[in-house]
Structure 1
Amino acid sequence: MPKKGFREKLTDALIDEAAEEIMDIEEIERDDDAVDAVLDELADNISVIMECRRGDYSTIPKSDIWRNNILTTLDEDRFRQMLRVDRDQYNMLVDLIKNDEEFNKAHSCKQFSVELQLAITLFRLGSSGESAAFRKIATIFGVGDGETISLITKRIFRVFLRHQSKYIYWPNEVERSKIVSDTFDELPFCIGYIDGTEIKLAESPIEDHTSYFSRNHIYSIKAQIVCDYKRVIRHVVVGHPGSWHDARKNRNSSLFQQNDQYFSSQQWIAGDSAYPLSATLIAPYRSNARQLDRNA
């Protein structure tokens, strides 16, 4: 086994020290800002080490240091904050995709482990601003900061998209009838619940950035999701600009434009007051400032 060089020993020491600091913070004060500061300092220190070898040096050594030395030591709350899933969910996702042909292509060069690629993608999806910078993610995970992260993200996306129809699908007529039967005493003929959310973008889009600036004062894309009474997601629309209103998203969705393919007679979904009433979507009454107080 080759001996570790000075830079590698120094990097390992910094990582060990950062891991200890994070564990101490978690045990004493559970301060997210303090943990982020430790990670920022670690990333900066490693960047300096990598750039100071006989002049210019910008290549980051490829390794699973983060996954092996830090990720495994985090408690459940910190793990979930870093990757947006808990350990059981993470392991389930690994088992789901690890045998996909995308990771075993004959013409493909040697890839990082599936576990590391998934962790990088989840971390990136849960980051924004400075935390989402390629250079910072590359430094934290020990991978190249060129096209590597982009390639890994696209690869993981392709794999999950192949599984999409197994987990997100609209209930057929038989299943819709069963949902109606199970919930008839609560909301007769209701087969689902619709709402909108937004997905924050890491940075401002280059083109038409004003359209992606939402009322929450962030750059985002909108998502519209329908779930059933068991909280199982049954329909998703993603990609509209952050400035779009929920009602506009709905008007442009297949649920509205092709409702005869999604609903049988009298069936409907429930939404909040942001949605207009229709034959297949019922929302609560909007508050009316001019309405008289019944107790007056």
Structure 2
Amino acid sequence: MVGIVTGTFGDDTAILASANDSSVASFKLQAGLGRMSKWLQRWRMKANETKSTHVTFTMRRDTCPEIKLVTAEFTNSHSIQQFPLDLQLAIVLYRLGSSGENAAIRKVATLFGVGDGETIYKIPRRVIRSILELQTKFITWPDVAERQDVVEKTYHEHPHCIGYIDGTEIKLAEAPVVNHTSYFSKNRVYSIKAQVVCDYQLKIRHVAVGHYGSAHDARMFRTSALCIQENSLFSSEQWLAGDSAYPLLKTLITPFRSNSQQLDYSKRKTFNLRHSRFRVRIEHRFGLLKERFGSLKELRIPSWLMAEFEPFLAILGDASGVVGLCTAERTTFGAELDDVLSADDSIK
């Protein structure tokens, strides 16, 4: 792990973590201890906590957060007491719904009365992972019958159009340590990309998250299931409406480009106006997402954490999918989420 040094002498082991901030150093040290605890459990060994000491070397007067050899915040196979599920979900929803200074780690930890070390990072990871286990049930691509129903209800708008597609940026508060240039987008910010499809009711039907901020919308589409599996996802003549950043395909219709020579100017203009009139629904969907979940405006993940948890970055970026889940069938979803969280003991 970046910033962690381990040394041994006889049967003693020392773990050294260094950082400019005491909280960061403590979090790194706790992460190292977590890994060591898993290794000890795997080999059926025990460490003597009473003989373990946490020593801080610093010229500052600030106090380091508490360090534990075995984290006791979550239920595991040894039935260690965890935080109430309502509290865990409240912390995650607050973080997802906050942006700027309101999303600061210490502020969130103080507000909910939890530790600002590993705990405040572990709770969102656990809850979001549990939510994503329900993703395929609540965010579904319409089947043949549902697609035909959509076509019939929107035929007067765009014949055979079944949805609207676009990409959006999720800005990162800090530049990633690893491969940071790939995250730098055309808007001159560090970000990750999300591609979303919604229907005429603004319901999210497909989400793809995790591309670098420099990725083009066309590239995201080419690598998504919408393009690779088009024969199983689209019936005859069905298509999505996208903007001019996407390629023109039989399953993806875009407006005429400014340099197009097809038809005459008035017909191109009429088509483009009608196309944008209904395609703007995906823009409305993005607006609703980012107003309700302010974290999508700026994702606050420390750069040193992204170096170790890049897959976790994609999971947090999937807040788009989390929003889609939280806004659909709330009663059923809430009950099933309680069951998943109660059964989840994978994070020790």
**TM-score, length of structure 2 as denominator length:** 0.51
Kept in 1: contact 2:65–2:117 (CA 8 A): no
How far the C-alpha of 1:177 sits from its partner, in A, is 1.0
* Conserved? CA contact 2:165–2:240, under 8 Å: yes
Q: What residue identity is the alignment partner of 1:114? A: L
Asked if residue 197 in structure 1 is aligned to residue 164 in structure 2, the reply is no
Residue 221 of structure 2 is aligned to residue 250 of structure 1: yes
Which is bigger in relative contact order (C-alpha 8 A, separation at least 6)? 2
Match of 1:275 in 2: 246
Is residue 124–residue 137 contact of structure 1 (8 Å, CA) maintained in 2?
A: yes
In the alignment, which of 217, 223, 230 is matched to residue 188 of structure 2?
Answer: 217
Match for residue 181 of structure 1? 152
Superposed displacement of residue 281, structure 1? 0.1
Task: Tell me the CA shift for residue 258 of structure 1.
Answer: 1.6
Shift in alpha-carbon separation, 1:130–1:231, aligned structure 2, 3 A: closer
Aligned equivalents of 1:235, 1:293: Cα separation in 2? 34
| 1:108–1:124 CA distance, 2 compared to 1 (3 A) | farther
Aligned pairs for 1:57-96 (under 5 A) are 57-59=63-65
What amino acid is the match of 1:186? Answer: E
- The one-character-per-residue Cα deviations of 1:235-281 (angstroms, maximum 9, x if unpaired) are 11000001111111111111112210110111101011111100100
Q: Partners of 1:236 and 1:220 in 2: how far apart?
A: 17
SS in 2 for 1:236: strand
TM-score by length of 1: 0.60
Q: Indicate whether 1:168 and 2:139 are aligned.
A: yes
SS in 2 for 1:272: coil
Q: Number of residues paired by the alignment?
A: 198
Amino acid at match of 2:92: T
- Counterparts of 2:62 and 2:201, CA distance in 1: 57
Q: Which residue identity is paired with 2:192?
A: I
- The correspondence of residues 1-296 of structure 1 with structure 2, limited to 5 A, is 57-59=63-65, 107-126=78-97, 132-288=103-259
In structure 2, C-alpha distance between the alignment counterparts of 1:175 and 1:278, rounded to whole Å: 22
**Unaligned stretches of 5+ in structure 2?**
1-60, 67-73, 267-348
**2:75, 2:81 within 8 Å by CA — same for their partners in 1?**
no
CA distance in 2 between partners of 1:107 and 1:114 (Å): 18
Deviations 1:138-173 (A, max 9, x none): 234321122101210111112201211221011111
Cα offset, 1:180, TM superposition: 0.9
In structure 2, the CA distance between the partners of 1:148 and 1:203, relative to structure 1 (3 Å rule), is same
**Whole-angstrom distance in 1 between the partners of 2:198 and 2:116:** 38
1:111-158 per-position Cα deviation (integer Å, ceiling 9, x unaligned): 223233223223333556665553343234321122101210111112
- 2: CA distance between counterparts of 1:222 and 1:207? 17
Secondary structure, counterpart of 1:194 in structure 2: strand
One-letter code aligned to 1:263: F
State how far apart, in whole Å, the 2-side matches of 1:131 and 1:210 are.
28
Distance in 1 of aligned mates of 2:113 and 2:159:
55
Change (3 A) 1:190 1:128: same
SS, match of residue 168 in structure 2: strand
> Percent of aligned positions with the same letter in both sequences?
60
Partner of 1:72: none
- Output the aligned Cα RMSD: 2.7
Structure 1 gap ranges (5+) = 1-54, 61-102
DSSP-derived class of the 1:224 partner = strand
Say which SS state the counterpart of residue 209 (structure 2) adopts: strand
Deviates more, 1:241-250 or 1:139-148: 139-148
Q: Which one-letter code corresponds to 2:143 in the other structure?
A: N
